[in-house]
Structure 1
Amino acid sequence: MEKKKFWSYENKLVMIFFFSIGFVFFDRLAINYLIPFIQEDFSLTNTQIGLVSAALAITWSISGPIGGILSDKAKSKKAVLAIFVLLFSVVSLLHGLVGSFVMLFVLRLIMGLVEGPIVPITQSILTVESSENRRGFNSGFTMNTGNAVFGSFLAPLVIVALANAFDWHTAFYLTIVPGVILAFVIFKYVKNPDQAKITQVSSLAPKEKINFKQMLKHRNVWLSIVIFSAFMTYIMAFNIYGPLFLVNVKGVSASTMSIVMASFGAGFALFGVIVPAISDRIGRKPISLAFGFLSIFTPLVLIYVDSLALTLILVFAFSSGTGVAALVMSAIPTESVPFQYAGAAIGLTIGIGEFFGGFLNPIISGIAADTFGLTAPLFISSGAATVAFLCSFLLIESSPSKVAVEQTESSSLVKV
């Protein structure tokens, strides 16, 4: 038997998408760690801060499903992907020129349009090119670990350090360089999936013709949408208002705040790949329940724990629940419909999740913060994680390895 090389096309693809998605979320989340600086310059209310985040999310929720359709229809998926990567890098650079709340709001709207299609396109390509026993790992490593390493771990440390050393405008000017490099790498090294392979992979799933309305009839698809929406609410409320709570209520320095938020990012990065990988072996549902439960306590740590050391440890440990996000965003919905509709299933999940968790949530959380104080968004974050945990009880197991075992056992019982 020929030994498979480590540097296979599958692994190359995983690494390219790891950096691609990582820089998407670096640019998306960087503004959260700069908000204490921007708030001072523009005298922003908490409601306006929520609107800035909501602006990106509403256009992301529109362009996400469109990106899913593009990934299913486009003849050259890699060309479409490379173009969007280059576009979001240019828009990110323009953030450095912002001089008012209105300009910032408009640029966030545009950023959502050009970033939204990237995740559905990368994940639909990855679904086809992944080995069956590595779909959870590949999705978790690119979506969760890529997101966490760049967006939740490096971003608070690098962005806050740059803002302290120079000013918050400077950080945005640097994003064009990795964007250009990534666009070139994608165009040169990513291959368009072979149609024969798509057909072959799709033979493992049901054969009926599916559209968006029909996809919602699959229990795992609408449950994934609900759970992902709740996870988006949990993560975004924590990421947007956690830094403000630490600086404005707890009275810590911006540097200390960046370390606390980076501990969340470090756990997100580590568990974001470990949790989906474990789910490949023991199933999606038990993992969603076990680790989803821990997410409930992450925002509560900021409110009730005063020790910095204990806060760092607990935030890191409880961030393991974020590993469930990749499962309900990608693995579970794509395993529940024919794979030729993988991009559409992911796009639908992301689009609706962005609308509720990314668009409505920051506005409601911002109003709640202005009305009841900055603890309110953190309670909203914890409540959303509770909803995600409870809904996970209704999931139908979709892991190929577990489904195969169940089918084998069922066939054996029938023969007996």
Structure 2
Amino acid sequence: MEKRKFWSYENKLTAIFFFSIGFVFFDRLAINYLIPFMQEDFSLTNTQIGLVSAALALTWSISGPLGGYISDKAKSKKAVLATFVVLFSVVSLSHGFVGSFAMLFVLRLVMGIVEGPIIPITQSIIAVESSENRRGFNTGFTMNTGNAVFGSFLAPLVIVALANAFDWHTAFYLTIIPGIILSMVILKFVKNPKKLEQVGTSENEKINFKEVIKHRNIWLSIIIFSCFMTFLMAFSIYTPLFLVNVKGVSSSTMSLIMAAFGAGYAIFGIVIPAFSDRLGRKPISIIFGICSILLPFSLIFVDSVSMLMILVFFLSAGSGVGSIVMSAVPVESVPFKFAGVAVGLVIGIGELFGGFLNPILSGMAADNWGLTAPLVISSSAAFLAFLCSFFMIESLPSKVRETEEQELGTSSVTV
């Protein structure tokens, strides 16, 4: 019996994309932790801070689908990916030279353009190259856990330490180093997916967006992921304010509660997609979608800090559904040659509604009805995602084969 090597290409690819996606979110969220330092220099208003966040989300939502399209047409997906990693590293470094809000706003627009394609490209490659029984785990580990570990845990510690030791300019300058290293690793170790080469589009062949969007799972994934992003962003942005200003807890207590969410997101971000590799995408999305509905309401109705930390940790399991509907379901629902554009469409439209429009509308709701309103919006979006999950067609290959075999057996008996 041949012994399977741990450091297989699949595991190697998963590790590379874990760091690649993690660095994307490290870089994307770094400005949130540097804004207090920058605010002193530029006298930024809260409205301007909101616009800086919305600017990146807007261009990200456009470049995501386009980046997926470009990677599907290109001969070398890894070359396209490495190029975008270098570009966003250079743009990140450029943030250290900003001297005004206008320049910062423009750079965030550009950042969204060069960062947006990276997630669709990496997620489509990892989904195609993964074993059928590892697709959920691999996409969850790279996307959910990479995001949580680098963006929510390491970024505030490292970035703030650099800003305190030097200044906020230097913190931006140093972000180019990981990007250059990652681009070199991608070029050296990542292979162009063989499955895509076998069924890939030629340079002159057009990718028909109608061919992709006609699949029920694709437009359902778009709706569910848009709702998921609305749930996640409304919760992430306004929970700290709600806890401090409405619940009256200290900033240190608030950070502990948010850390409980980050820890749960990192752990369940692997576990829940891995469950879907065994039990199916649809039932897992439905079951753990309930957790997302309950999470915002736990903040509203529970006053005990210890109980709240426990609930927030376990109810964060609902966040594991994100990578399932963002990557696994779209890739399994269309021909592999459309993998990049399918994932790009789901992410792009989800980012438009959840990352761009939602923070603005949730902020307006908070101004008119109080900070409870964004949490109600968060839970309502999760409820809509939960309802739409019932209409998904199961896409897990092993479950699809079981269904086909059962139908074939039934038809044979009838004949």
Flag whether TM exceeds 0.5 (same fold): yes
1:396 partner SS: coil
Change (3 A) 1:253 1:27: farther
Q: Pick from 214, 218, 233: which aligns with 2:230?
A: 233
Deviation at 1:376, TM superposition (A): 2.5
Matched, 1:82 2:86: no
Contact 1:50 1:365 in 2 (8 A): no
Superposed, which structure 2 residues align to 1:108-257 within 5 Å?
108-159=108-159, 171-194=171-194, 197-198=195-196, 211-250=208-247, 252=249, 254-257=251-254
Change (3 A) 1:246 1:98: farther
Partners of 1:236 and 1:29 lie apart in 2 by 13
Q: Normalising by the residue count of structure 1, what TM-score does the alignment of the two structures yield? A: 0.90
Partners of 2:43 and 2:299 lie apart in 1 by 25
Superposed, which structure 2 residues align to 1:13-92 within 5 Å?
13-34=13-34, 46-92=46-92
1:6 partner SS: coil
Deviation at 1:312, TM superposition (A): 2.1
Contact 2:293 2:383 in 1 (8 A): yes
Partners of 2:225 and 2:243 lie apart in 1 by 26
Partners of 1:333 and 1:94 lie apart in 2 by 35
Q: Pick from 307, 325, 330: which aligns with 1:328?
A: 325
What is the RMSD of the two structures over their aligned residues, measured on CA atoms?
2.5
Deviation at 1:200, TM superposition (A): 5.7
Find the counterpart in structure 1 of residue 376 from structure 2: 379
Unpaired segments of 5 or more residues in structure 1? 203-208
Find the counterpart in structure 2 of residue 205 from structure 1: none
Change (3 A) 1:11 1:183: same
Partners of 2:265 and 2:319 lie apart in 1 by 6
Find the counterpart in structure 2 of residue 351 from structure 1: 348
Deviation at 1:210, TM superposition (A): 6.4
Identity of paired residues, percent?
75
Deviation at 1:32, TM superposition (A): 3.8
Find the counterpart in structure 1 of residue 334 from structure 2: 337
Amino acid paired to 1:151? G
Partners of 1:302 and 1:161 lie apart in 2 by 30
Find the counterpart in structure 1 of residue 266 from structure 2: 269
Change (3 A) 1:60 1:386: same
Deviation at 1:255, TM superposition (A): 4.5
Q: How many residues align?
A: 408
Deviation at 1:51, TM superposition (A): 2.3
CA distances 1:54-99 after superposition (whole Å, capped 9, x unpaired): 2111101111011101211112221211121122222223334445
> More deviation in 58-67 or 21-30?
21-30
Amino acid paired to 2:23? F
1:331 partner SS: helix
1:394 partner SS: coil
Partners of 1:98 and 1:379 lie apart in 2 by 37
Matched, 1:399 2:396: yes
Change (3 A) 1:31 1:191: same
Partners of 2:125 and 2:100 lie apart in 1 by 39
CA distances 1:163-187 after superposition (whole Å, capped 9, x unpaired): 6777655543432221121111111
Partners of 1:110 and 1:244 lie apart in 2 by 29
Contact 1:156 1:261 in 2 (8 A): no
CA distances 1:12-41 after superposition (whole Å, capped 9, x unpaired): 000000000011112223334555666676
Q: Normalising by the residue count of structure 2, what TM-score does the alignment of the two structures yield? A: 0.90
Find the counterpart in structure 1 of residue 203 from structure 2: none
Q: Pick from 289, 292, 296: which aligns with 2:293?
A: 296
Amino acid paired to 2:261? F
Partners of 1:165 and 1:258 lie apart in 2 by 22
> More deviation in 385-394 or 39-48?
39-48
> More deviation in 237-246 or 211-220?
237-246
Amino acid paired to 1:111? M
Change (3 A) 1:45 1:312: farther
Contact 1:46 1:369 in 2 (8 A): no
Partners of 2:297 and 2:35 lie apart in 1 by 21
Find the counterpart in structure 1 of residue 105 from structure 2: 105
1:141 partner SS: helix
